């Protein structure tokens, strides 16, 4: 959790990034922010024992800088966000259409990227049929195949990063929980890890175990949600209802522990806010029953041929492309990128628990992604049992250990169900001076561009559901 | 395929009996903060709330539940003044005027509530046993969508009450709006609202939709061009609270008329 390098120029910054990646690092984000009165570019690189931050100050009144995207495709959306936020132009062959800044509402012209006989664009969204978050897909198609897909997420841009500025950390964690509502616990954890790194404090062991229990329950709920949506896309009514029922039961376990169905208000800087309402061990019988049912239903689902036919070979992400992009979470794991910050950069109580690396998957299709999620669900049930077993029978009253907070800057991370979440937090005079959240949804969503090779319109709901991302976390 | 048929029968009926019978999970729900009765001479509470929901005047505290994000800080810091409200259902769990979300209520708001209720009932009398919903996300954090989606699952199952989600605003009677009202969604939301036939009802789902929540300093919830009829506080609200609001909006709560068996 250190600021590991300040470079003299943008070109030197990209050079330093290249050498980190060559040394086994993984590109994890690029952002621009005003720091000490100057616009600063910061790059985050995941390395085995932490997240490195490299940065350079842009010259005063600079109108542009040499873009990273031509060297590293994964930077594409990051540089578009920088362009939207600051007006500074990443110079290079890069399409700078607005990504988070809303365009002219009266501008109905649909951008076209491929041309040919009979090609047209289907604007799908931002208001979509069913219960979905708002975003727009521009599907360019001759009727069945999808040669190009474009995404517009600015409809939901809320300006979260700017809202953090000036907040006390105790309020900041509440906002972090609402950055990506379906991964509230992971966002709160990543934010608090940054604060705790600045304060140099160690979370009490019991609080660390309770944090893990909530994080794993959140993972189970998210993965069950994806299974439910996939079953729904295939028209398996009973399977849809079964997974919806399991998910509801998990959310009721969460609310039995803390009062919120999303685990909100549990994680605070320095520990947890209060003792669980019930001892987690008391909920284990219910969880064991649930685990048995989930395992059994998942086995039947993965044996239903009409379902697998729709998933096999659908939305493939090649292992090379996934590695190049640094694909996160289940999407990465299904394409051979097995990095998991719970294992490689463990936090809270994870060092005490037995986390096996995910079984190797290289197919990268919707089926592989679902298999990864089913494996992670089984592992999450086991981790909860282990963590609840480690807790003493009589919990000592929860008291966050954060006493004083010096000025400083640190990066915190946590493995959300969607992949790794990163928070780059700067504290000045006890308040948040700058906070840059980076969700896995943002990093992974851009990969939707690349997975439609040979897939047709009816595969669309399967590919979208198998990604399992949240637009709120992407548009911020 | 037949294996799924058997699985569908495996665990019996999971569906709640509410609103015909009470539901323990709905009743145990921890709702937005409220003010304890007889809390007088209160000082130093207005700065407690991170979203500015607490107002302090003449020694009396009032909570705007439309701004409450359920963080519980006021309940922890000043348990003598504040407490959680209990239960996700009933008339108090959704408001038919924005002012009614401010507790404790004043006599003036009581009259306004009664008038709003009558007007809403007159408008929705024609909906009877078939209600179709259109949902629009105007900048939510994603959690409200999960809770609305849950209504379609086996536990809440709104289909048993004659309520359905529809894909087209042309078929919709009720508009569920979630999220803090981002500039990008103002236009699409308005277009959806305009596309719905009369009579129509708008429900603001969640604290974000009611006031913008933590982002309330720059985003104000459902934009003024779309008139809200029912407000449901919560960050996010319980699925029971959303169902409760749907029944209030369509005049099905309180009277057993129109609920079927």
User: Which of B 16-75 lie inside 8 A of A, CB atoms?
Assistant: 25, 30, 50, 69-73
Under 8 Å CB-to-CB from B152, ≥6 apart: which residues?
Answer: A131, A244, B158, B159, B165
Chain A hits for B142, CB-CB cut-off 8 Å, are 133, 180-182, 470-473
> Residue B139: which of A156, A163, A470 has the nearest Cβ?
A156
B residues 91-110 lying closer than 8 A (beta carbon) to A: none
CATH no. for residue B75? 3.30.70.20
Distance from CA of A363 to the nearest CA of B (A): 26
* Per-residue model confidence as pLDDT tens digits over A182-222: 999 999 999 999 999 998 888 888 899 999 999 999 999 99
Nearest chain A residue to B171 by CA distance is A129
Could A159 and B215 be called an inter-chain contact, meaning their C-beta atoms sit closer than 8 Å? yes
**Higher-pLDDT residue of B195, B46:** B195
Cα distances from A285 to residues A211, A259, A282, A289, B127, in angstroms, run: 20, 20, 7, 6, 45
Percent of chain A at pLDDT above 90? Answer: 46
Residues B229 and B121 in one domain: yes
CATH superfamily of A2-91: NADH:ubiquinone oxidoreductase Nqo5 subunit (3.30.460.80)
A309 touches chain B (CB under 8 A): no
Which of A127, A248, A470 is the best residue to mutate to test the B interface, defined by the most B CB atoms within 10 Å of its own CB? A127
Separation between Cα atoms, residue A241 and residue B79, nearest integer Å: 41
Buried b (16+ CB within 10 A) or exposed e, A263-275: bbbbbbbbbbbbb
Going by C-alpha positions, the residue among A21, A42, A135, A91 that lies closest to residue A425 is A42
What is the pLDDT of chain B when averaged over all its residues?
87
- Asked whether residue B229 is domain-assigned, the answer is yes
Tell me the residues of chain A between 254 and 273 that have a Cβ less than 8 Å away from chain B. 259-262, 264-265, 273
Contact state of A129 with B168 under an 8 Å Cβ cutoff: yes
Residue A104 confidence class, pLDDT cut points 50, 70, 90: low
User: Does B215 reach chain A within 8 Å, measured CB to CB?
Assistant: yes
| One domain, residues B133 and B244 | yes
Asked if A300 lies within 8 A of B30 by C-beta distance, the reply is: no
Residue B261 above 60 pLDDT?
no
Which range among A110-119, B28-37, B147-156 has the greatest average pLDDT? B147-156
Residue B190 Cα distances to A159, B7, B198, angstroms: 21, 43, 15
Q: Quick one: B121 and B58 in the same domain?
A: no
Interface contact flag, A134 B146, Cβ < 8 Å: no
C-alpha separations of A321 from A68, A173, A334, A371 in Å: 17, 34, 12, 20
What's the fold here for domain A163-440? Cytochrome-c3 Hydrogenase; chain B (1.10.645)
Across the interface, which of B8, B135, B139 has its CB nearest the CB of A158?
A: B139
Instruction: Show Cβ contacts of residue A358 under 8 Å, excluding neighbours closer than 6 positions.
Output: A333, A338, A340, A372, A375, A376
- pLDDT tier for residue B256 given thresholds of 50, 70 and 90: very low
pLDDT at position A103 is 67
Give the nearest partner residue to B218 out of A159, A181, A471, using CB atoms. Answer: A159
- Tell me the shortest Cα–Cα distance from A399 to chain B, in angstroms: 13
Q: Give ranges for CATH 1.10.645.10 in chain A.
A: 163-440
CA dihedral A371, A374, A380, A385 (to 10 degrees): -130
Confidence class for position B44, pLDDT limits 50, 70, 90: confident
Q: Which of A181, A236, A298 to mutate to test the interface with B (most CBs of B within 10 A)?
A: A181
Per-residue pLDDT at A372: 93
Q: Which of residues 386-415 of A touch B (CB under 8 A)?
A: none
Q: Which of residues 150-169 of A touch B (CB under 8 A)?
A: 154-160, 163
* Closest residue on chain B to A99 (Cα): B184
Whether residues B109 and B199 share a domain: the answer is: yes
Q: Do residues B46 and B171 share a domain?
A: no
Chains A, B: CB pairs < 8 Å: 162
Chain B residue nearest residue A473, CA to CA = B141
Query: Does the pLDDT at position B257 exceed 60?
Result: no
A129 to chain B nearest CA, in Å? Answer: 4
Quick check: A181 and B140 CB within 8 A? Answer: yes
- pLDDT of B1 reads 58
For A173, name the nearest residue in chain B, comparing CA atoms only: B71
Confidence of residue A423 (pLDDT cuts 50, 70, 90): very high
B85 lies within 8 A of chain A by CB? no
pLDDT (mean) for A302-326:
90
For B228-254, the pLDDT digits (tens) are: 999 999 989 999 999 999 998 887 775
Strands B30-35 vs A431-438: parallel, antiparallel or unpaired: unpaired
For chain A, the C-alpha Rg in angstroms (whole number) is 22
Residue B94 placed within a domain: no
Q: What is the DSSP letter of B258?
A: T
Region of A57 on the Ramachandran plot (φ > 0 left; ψ -120 to 50 alpha; else beta): beta
**B169 shares a domain with B114:** yes
pLDDT of residue A36: 82
Quick one: what percent of chain A has pLDDT higher than 70?
97
What domain range is B214 assigned to?
105-249
Number of residues that make up chain A: 476
CB distance B247 to B253 below 8 Å? yes
Find chain A residues with C-beta within 8 A of B215's C-beta. Answer: 158-160, 163
B259 in a domain, yes or no?
no
SS3 annotation, chain A: CEEEEEECCHHHHHHHHHHHHHCCCEEEEEEEEEECCEEEEEEEEEECCEEEEEEEECCCCCCEEECCCCCCHHHHHHHHHHHHHHCCEEECCCCCCCCCCCCCCCCCCCCCCCCCCCCEEEEECCCCCCCCCCCEEEEEECCCECCEEEEECHHHCCCHHHHHCCCCHHHHHHHHHCCCHHHHHHHHHHHHHHHHHHHCCCCCHHHHHHHHHHHHHHHHHHHHHHHHHHHHHCCCHHHHHHHHHHHHHHHHHHHHHHCCCCCCCCEECCEECCCCCCCHHHHHHHHHHHHHHHHHHHHHHCCCHHHHHHHCCCCCCCHHHHHHHCCCHHHHHCCCCCCCHHHHCCCCCHHHCCCCCCCCCCCCCHHHHHHHHHHHHHHHHHHHHHHHHHCCCCCCCCCCCCCCCCCEEEEEEEEECCEEEEEEEEEECCEEEEEEEECHHHHHHHHHHHCCCCCEHHHHHHHHHHHCCCHHHHHC
Cβ contact B235–A178 (<8 Å): yes
Answer yes or no: do B122 and B243 share one domain.
yes
Chain B contact probe: residue of A217, A227, A238 with most B CBs at under 10 A? A238
The C-alpha R_g of chain B, in whole angstroms, comes to 19
Q: Inform me whether the C-beta atom of residue A92 falls under 8 Å from chain B C-beta atoms.
A: no
Distance from CA of A171 to the nearest CA of B (A): 6
Q: What is the mean pLDDT of chain A?
A: 88
Mutation pick from B33, B137, B233 vs chain A, by most beta carbons of A within 10 Å, is B137
Task: Look at B8 and A154 and tell me if their CB atoms are within 8 Å.
Answer: no
Q: Does A104 touch chain B (CB under 8 A)?
A: no
Q: Do B129 and B73 share a domain, yes or no? A: no
pLDDT band at B88 (very low <50, low <70, confident <90, very high): confident
Q: Which two tokens stand for residue B249?
A: 């909006």
A379 at the B interface (CB within 8 A)?
A: no
Residues of chain A with CATH 3.30.460.80: 2-91
- Is B131 in the same domain as B39? no
**Shortest alpha-carbon distance between residue B100 and chain A (Å):** 24
A400 compared with A412, residue with greater pLDDT: A412
Q: Quick one: B109 and B48 in the same domain? A: no
Chain A, residues 9-48, CB within 8 A of chain B, namely none
- Residue A106 pLDDT greater than 80, yes or no: no
Does B111 share its domain with B237? yes
Q: B208 and B141 in contact (C-beta within 8 Å)?
A: yes
- What is the structure's pLDDT at B122? 84
Residue B43 pLDDT level (bands cut at 50, 70, 90): confident
Give the other-Cβ count within 10 Å of A213's Cβ. 28
Q: Indicate if the pLDDT at residue A4 is higher than 90.
A: no
CA-to-CA dists, residue B208 to A88, A370, B147, B215, B221, angstroms: 32, 32, 14, 8, 6
Spell out which residues of chain A touch residue B50, defining contact as CB-CB under 8 Å: 170-171, 174
- Check whether A380 has a pLDDT greater than 90: yes
């Amino acid at each position: 959790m250190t600021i590991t390098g300040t470079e003299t120029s943008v070109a030197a910054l990209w050079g330093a990034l290249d050498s980190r990646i060559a040394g086994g690092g993984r590109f994890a984000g690029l952002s621009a922010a005003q720091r000490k009165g100057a616009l600063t570019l910061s790059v985050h690189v995941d390395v085995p024992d932490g997240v490195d931050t490299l940065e350079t100050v842009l010259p005063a009144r600079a109108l542009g800088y040499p873009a990273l995207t031509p060297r590293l495709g994964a930077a594409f959306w990051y540089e578009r966000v920088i362009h939207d936020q600051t007006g500074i132009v990443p110079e290079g062959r890069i399409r700078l259409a607005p990504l988070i800044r809303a365009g002219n509402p009266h501008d109905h012209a649909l951008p076209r990227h491929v041309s040919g006989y009979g090609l047209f664009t289907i604007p799908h969204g931002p208001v979509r049929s069913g219960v979905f978050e708002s975003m727009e897909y521009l599907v360019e198609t001759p009727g069945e195949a999808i040669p190009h897909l474009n995404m517009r997420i600015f409809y939901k841009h809320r300006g979260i990063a700017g809202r953090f500025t000036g907040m006390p950390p105790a309020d900041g964690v509440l906002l972090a929980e609402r950055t990506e509502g379906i991964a509230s616990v992971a966002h709160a954890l990543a934010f608090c890890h940054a604060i705790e790194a600045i304060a140099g404090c160690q979370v009490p062991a019991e609080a660390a175990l309770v944090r893990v229990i909530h994080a794993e329950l959140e993972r189970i709920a998210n993965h069950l949600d994806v299974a439910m949506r996939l079953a729904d896309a295939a028209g398996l009514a009973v399977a849809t209802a079964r997974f919806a029922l399991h998910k509801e039961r998990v959310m009721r376990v969460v609310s039995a522990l803390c009062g919120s169905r999303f685990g909100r208000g549990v994680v605070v800087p320095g520990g947890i806010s209060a003792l669980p309402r019930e001892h987690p061990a008391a909920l284990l019988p219910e969880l064991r029953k649930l685990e048995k049912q989930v395992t059994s239903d998942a086995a039947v689902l993965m044996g239903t041929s009409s379902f697998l036919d729709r998933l096999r070979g659908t939305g493939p992400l090649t292992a090379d492309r996934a590695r190049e992009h640094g694909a996160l979470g289940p999407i990465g794991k299904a394409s051979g990128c097995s990095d998991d910050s719970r294992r490689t950069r463990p936090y809270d109580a994870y060092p005490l628990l037995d986390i096996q690396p995910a079984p190797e998957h290289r197919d990268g299709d919707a089926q592989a992604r679902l298999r990864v999620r089913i494996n992670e669900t089984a592992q999450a049930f086991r981790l909860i049992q282990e963590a609840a077993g480690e807790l003493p029978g009589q919990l000592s009253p929860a008291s966050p250990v954060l006493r004083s907070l010096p000025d400083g800057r640190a990066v915190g991370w946590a493995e959300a169900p969607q992949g790794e979440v990163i928070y780059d937090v700067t504290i000045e005079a006890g308040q948040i001076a700058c906070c840059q959240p980076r969700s896995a949804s943002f990093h992974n969503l851009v990969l939707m561009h690349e997975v439609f090779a040979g897939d047709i319109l009816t595969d669309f709901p399967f590919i979208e559901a198998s990604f399992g991302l949240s637009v709120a976390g992407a548009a911020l | 395929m037949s294996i799924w048929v058997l699985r569908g029968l495996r665990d019996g009926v999971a569906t709640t009996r509410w609103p015909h019978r009470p539901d323990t999970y709905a009743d145990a729900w921890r709702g937005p903060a409220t003010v304890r009765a007889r809390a007088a001479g209160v000082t130093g509470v207005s700065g407690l709330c991170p979203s500015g929901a607490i107002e302090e005047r003449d020694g009396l505290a009032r909570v705007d539940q439309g701004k409450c994000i359920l963080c519980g800080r006021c309940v922890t810091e000043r348990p003598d003044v504040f407490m959680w409200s209990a239960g996700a259902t009933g008339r108090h769990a959704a408001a038919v005027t924005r002012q009614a979300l401010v507790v404790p209520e004043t006599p003036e708001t009581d009259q306004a509530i009664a008038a709003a209720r009558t007007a809403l009932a007159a408008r929705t009398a024609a909906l009877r046993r078939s209600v179709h919903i259109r949902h629009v996300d105007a900048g939510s954090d994603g959690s409200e969508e999960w809770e609305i989606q849950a209504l379609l699952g086996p536990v809440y199952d709104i289909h048993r009450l004659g309520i359905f989600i529809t894909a087209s605003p042309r078929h919709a009677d009720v508009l569920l709006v979630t999220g803090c009202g981002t500039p990008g969604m103002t236009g699409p939301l308005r277009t959806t609202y305009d596309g719905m036939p009369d009579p129509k009802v708008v429900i603001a789902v969640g604290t974000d939709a009611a006031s913008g929540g933590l982002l309330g300093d720059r985003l104000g919830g459902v934009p003024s061009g779309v008139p809200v009829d029912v407000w449901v506080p919560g960050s996010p609200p319980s699925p029971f609270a959303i169902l409760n609001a749907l029944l209030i909006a369509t005049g099905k709560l309180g009277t057993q008329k129109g609920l079927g068996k």
